[in-house]
Amino acid sequence: MGQVNLNEKQKQAVEFNKGDLLIIAGAGTGKTSVITERIIHIINSGWAKPSEILALTFTEKAAQEMQTRIDERMEYGYDEPYISTFHSFCDHILRNEGYNIGLDGSYSLLSTAQAYIFLRKHLYDMPFKTLLPKGNPTKFLNDFLKHVSRLQDEDVSPEEYEKYAKSLPKSTDDLKEEYTRVNELAQGYKKYSELKIAESKVDFGDLILLTIKLFREKPNILAKYRNKYKYILVDEFQDTNYTQNVLVNILKGDGKTPFLTVVGDDDQAIYKFRGAAISNILQFKERYPKAFEIVLTENYRSKQEILDSAHTLIRHNDPNRLEVTERIDKSLVARGVFEDDRNSVQLMVSQYESIEAERVAEEIMKLTGYGELVKLREDRDSQTFDEKGQSTFLDSQTPGKDAKYKFSDIAILVRANSNADIFVQEFRNRGIRYKLGGSRGLYFREEIKNLIAFLRVLTDFTDEVSMYKLLTMGIWNFSPREYMELIQLARMEKLTLLELLEAEWKIKIGEESFSEGDFKEIDSKIMDKILSPQAIAGVSTLLMLLDTSMKKIKEGRSLVEILYDFVMNSRYVGEFLDKETPESIFAISNINKFFELVKNYEKDNPDSNIYEYVDYLNYSIQIGESPLVDSVDMDELNAVNIMTVHSAKGLEFPVVFLVNLVSERFPTKARGDALPIPDELIKETGIENLDEKEANIQEERRLFYVGATRAKEKLYLTASNFYGDAKRKKKPSIFLHEILDRSVDEDFKEKVQVNDFTDDIIHLTSIEGLDQSIIPSKDIMNIVKRFSYSQLNVYESCPRKYEYAYVLRIPTKGNASTAFGTTIHNTLKDFYTLLQRSKESLGGIVQAPTKDDLLALYGKNWVRSGYESKKQEEIRKKEGRKIMGQYFDKVFSLEESPLRLEESFSVHFADVVFSGKIDRIDLIKSGEGIQEVCIVDYKTGSEKSASDIKKDLQLPLYALVAEEKFGLKVVGAKYVFVETGNCVDVNVSQDRREEAKEKLIESLESVKKGNFKATPGFVCRFCDFNSICEYADL
């Protein structure tokens, strides 16, 4: 990536070096470019070393994008600035410094769903009375967690809340009631915090609150970080909450340095529901009156008509905007080049919600060159649908040549996730490709919903909804019609569906041993009247898998193993592999991500079981905590984007449809907290003379503004008179009047529209009739972007195995070796961290770690998954304890000086990021600015032969990275074979490093060419993929 061309204001922001800086960056003005260029300029100008720069963002994606842009501009091997989210930054500090305030640095980080499960486990330890209704004891748990989160956002500690609660008067009955309520909440907050500390748990709100506590109570630690960073940059400053702002102000302090740069746009402050405080950016100049101010208004995204309309809208938030308070001009000026700037903003009003969705679909087909395929109602007889409701047509036609946009150029932006459903259904009916973004991510993908249904059935045989989902997956050859007839029979017999199948198959799932050949004759009323022979075979397979899974549950097997056996033995993954379409590859990628999430859950909750996991999963889905799908794969899919406006923040699309623009949908009504925190504890000053209702309207207006400014060339505003079954006509959104700068009442008057006639509903030929060339091929979709030594090792052993593992990303269930290796690595990392702290402490305040410490850490880090049986796990755990004891006696020495532990790295080789993690880097000698080190790598398997070690590339590559990226001088490297305690030195000379680098690049080129030829042999019988590889030598 070459030098970025900057306009005058951008250049001024990049090169400013006279103090603190406020950059007001309007939509599409190159905010990210300015931040990254400023960081690069600071480094290249010698104002600060990269390690003296801290950049805080709000999402991991933003941090990664910023880091990538900087990497592309800097010389190879440069020292990286610290770029992370607020929470990651605080997590880093607490894990390294938290022991100073009594915090266990190896704490577990709780997600919202995990916090709920944790709190529910301790429900009767909590001092709840009114918050613990006997009929529904968990009723207020979610509200209580939101209450705690708001307290954390406002920098309210448990001690401060308790002190406030006890100070309340209670002279009257009303005051007594309030006193009791607040004191119950305060005591609950205190107890919840104590329980987390006792079990080494931390939630996301704690990360920032505890870091502030650390800085306030330990001024020496604060001074350390103030001195470390000369420049602090904060992205999206308008979205900071009160506590995040406090953190920034504490780090900044009252001195000249560190220099503070904040970048934001008050008109794009849209996260009040998460606690964001718009006052932070509005009042920045009050706290830092000497800060210089730069306004970026040159827009490189949208047409001028779109920008002018959006500005007309947002001016209705005056005077509570920087444009007024700072007396600046924020009118955006289009700098993009467009063929035609007319009719960029269009209003589409329909009579009914269904017609709105149809008209949106029709317009999309015209924009993408399929307008000629639109058919009238009389051709509907030729239309058929597959088992998933996806439209297919017998009379496919060739698309027209007037396509102006691809499907992926278009976005449907909804105010709430539920508003997307009707558009999803309409697109499925027409064969329009679509992809759901935002919080309705992974758990809402069809391929993942099937797996969730399987887990739910295992935990509840009476869950008929999940049983239906499971039976109609397609792999069992079971039709919805057959399901309906079966369920009717089950009702007649007063049985659940699974009970009926057990009765007809004469089995008891999880209690008897049987196989397909053991099935007795099936009752004739199923065989002859309900199920086809194919469906009977499918149901038989399903019942066997459920039986096997239930037995594994009773044996205490890991959830990953149960899932793995199901997806492999049912041919679920095989079905996707056989299709070889971009969608099927994407589905496999999502299945793999789901497996990783389950693995992480089991790692973080070693004593959990499938029932607790499904409970956690259900709650995650309930609160919308669904992980995002693989963004790389998703971005490459040529499909219409459907997402909430919040999710679209930071994105841009040539064509945007803002839909459902009526009162109560956009803007929505303000929703107060069920358990609000007292006004006296709210430290965010807010906006003066603004009531709650108007504050909500202004927040919604900013959200509308964000949605409108995502559009580059066309902005469609759509609405209907009636939604759902409502008989009352909806009012137009107030924002329609404002953005169009006219009344739209006339547009909403009932009138005849061609699309209102049911006989004129339009349809499209099937997806198979569309131009497949606009969909990336499997090879393009899965182009290698990251490569590790583990991947290199797999590729060298068998390219086909590499394809399964890293291109198709088929999940594996793991094994005992991997689990044991993870246990040992984590144990030694924690152990050597203790050694580091003891060496760094003054006067021996922190004692050197002992053998007892090592054994305790081993027990704490034990990974249960991957073992064939409970007995195998118990034996291996006992062996491992002995191994750790021998390690302490034979290998460990207090003279060792660990410099870096589990050090992650990412470097560029042949246009690919080579990444990995170095187990340990020991300091051998230091002087004259040079650190001589030895690289240490732990091996938990059998010892390698001398010839294998001689050919090994891992440590030569790691030595190359350590010198070129970390600036260390590598004078030695060794493998530590943990099970025997033997240490073997490895040659990492310059010649070996160059040889390893050449081999790595050679393998990378082969991978990029798609060379995945199988190399069958004896090792095939130990391969995770031998059941699906046609070349396996078994």
Determine whether the annotation assigns residue 30 to a binding site. Answer: yes
Q: Write the CB contacts of 502 (distance below 8 Å, at least 6 apart in sequence).
A: 508, 509, 543
Q: Which residue from 295, 345, 300 is spatially nearest to 323, judged by alpha carbons?
A: 295
Q: Which residue from 538, 477, 466, 551 is spatially nearest to 508, judged by alpha carbons?
A: 551
Q: Write the CB contacts of 68 (distance below 8 Å, at least 6 apart in sequence).
A: none
Question: Average pLDDT over the chain, rounded to whole?
Answer: 84
**Tens-place pLDDT, residues 824-833:** 999 999 999 9
pLDDT attached to residue 1018: 67
Q: How far apart are CA 110 and CA 89, in angstroms?
A: 16
Domain 8-98+207-296 architecture: 3-Layer(aba) Sandwich (3.40)
More confidently predicted of 922 and 943: 922
Q: Which of 104-113, 132-141, 941-950 has the highest mean pLDDT?
A: 104-113
Domain 442-581+604-627 falls in which CATH fold?
A: PCRA; domain 4 (1.10.486)
255 by Cβ neighbours in 10 Å (0-12 / 13-18 / 19+) ranks as: exposed
800 by Cβ neighbours in 10 Å (0-12 / 13-18 / 19+) ranks as: buried
Confidence band of 952 (pLDDT split at 50, 70, 90):
confident
Determine whether the annotation assigns residue 25 to a binding site. Answer: yes
260 by Cβ neighbours in 10 Å (0-12 / 13-18 / 19+) ranks as: buried
In the predicted model, what is the mean pLDDT of residues 346-362? 93
Residue ranges covered by each domain of the chain:
8-98+207-296, 108-199, 345-395+407-435+640-769, 442-581+604-627, 786-1022
Confidence band of 935 (pLDDT split at 50, 70, 90):
very high
**Tens-place pLDDT, residues 475-509:** 888 776 777 678 778 878 888 888 888 888 888 88
- pLDDT of 398 above 70: no
Confidence band of 136 (pLDDT split at 50, 70, 90):
low
State whether the Cα torsion 255-256-260-266 is positive or negative: positive
Q: How far apart are CA 475 and CA 570, in angstroms?
A: 7
Domain 786-1022 architecture: Alpha-Beta Complex (3.90)
Determine whether the annotation assigns residue 27 to a binding site. Answer: yes
In the predicted model, what is the mean pLDDT of residues 88-112? 92
Share of the chain above pLDDT 70, in %: 87
Compute how many other C-beta atoms are within 10 angstroms of the C-beta atom of residue 609: 14
Q: Are 657 and 410 in contact (CB under 8 A)?
A: yes
Q: How far apart are CA 692 and CA 712, in angstroms?
A: 33
pTM of this structure: 0.78
pLDDT attached to residue 411: 97
Determine whether the annotation assigns residue 474 to a binding site. Answer: no
pLDDT attached to residue 753: 52
More confidently predicted of 957 and 537: 957
Q: How far apart are CA 247 and CA 229, in angstroms?
A: 14
Q: Are 286 and 662 in contact (CB under 8 A)?
A: no
Share of the chain above pLDDT 90, in %: 44
Determine whether the annotation assigns residue 28 to a binding site. Answer: yes
Identify the three-state secondary structure at position 240. Answer: coil
| Helix 112-121 × helix 610-622 angle, to 10° | 130
pLDDT attached to residue 845: 75
In the predicted model, what is the mean pLDDT of residues 342-348? 91
What six digits make up the tokens of 250? 């504490």
Determine whether the annotation assigns residue 32 to a binding site. Answer: yes
Determine whether the annotation assigns residue 416 to a binding site. Answer: no
- pLDDT of 399 above 50: no
In the predicted model, what is the mean pLDDT of residues 383-410? 56
Q: Are 12 and 32 in contact (CB under 8 A)?
A: no
364-368, 664-668, 943-947, range with the lowest pLDDT: 943-947
Q: Which helix (H) or strand (E) holds 721?
A: strand 711-722
**345-395+407-435+640-769 maps to which CATH number?**
3.40.50.300
The domains spanning 8-98+207-296 and 345-395+407-435+640-769 adopt the same CATH topology: yes
**Tens-place pLDDT, residues 501-537:** 888 888 888 886 665 555 555 555 565 678 888 888 8
**Tens-place pLDDT, residues 289-332:** 999 999 999 999 999 999 999 999 999 999 988 899 889 999 99
Give φ, ψ of 819 to 5 degrees.
Answer: -65, -45
Confidence band of 65 (pLDDT split at 50, 70, 90):
confident
Determine whether the annotation assigns residue 885 to a binding site. Answer: no
Give the E-state strand segments of 335-465 in sequence order.
345-352, 383-385, 391-393, 410-414, 434-436
Give the E-state strand segments of 259-322 in sequence order.
259-264, 292-296, 298-299
What six digits make up the tokens of 863? 């990974």
- pLDDT of 850 above 90: yes
- pLDDT of 83 above 70: yes
pLDDT attached to residue 742: 94
Q: Are 999 and 1015 in contact (CB under 8 A)?
A: no
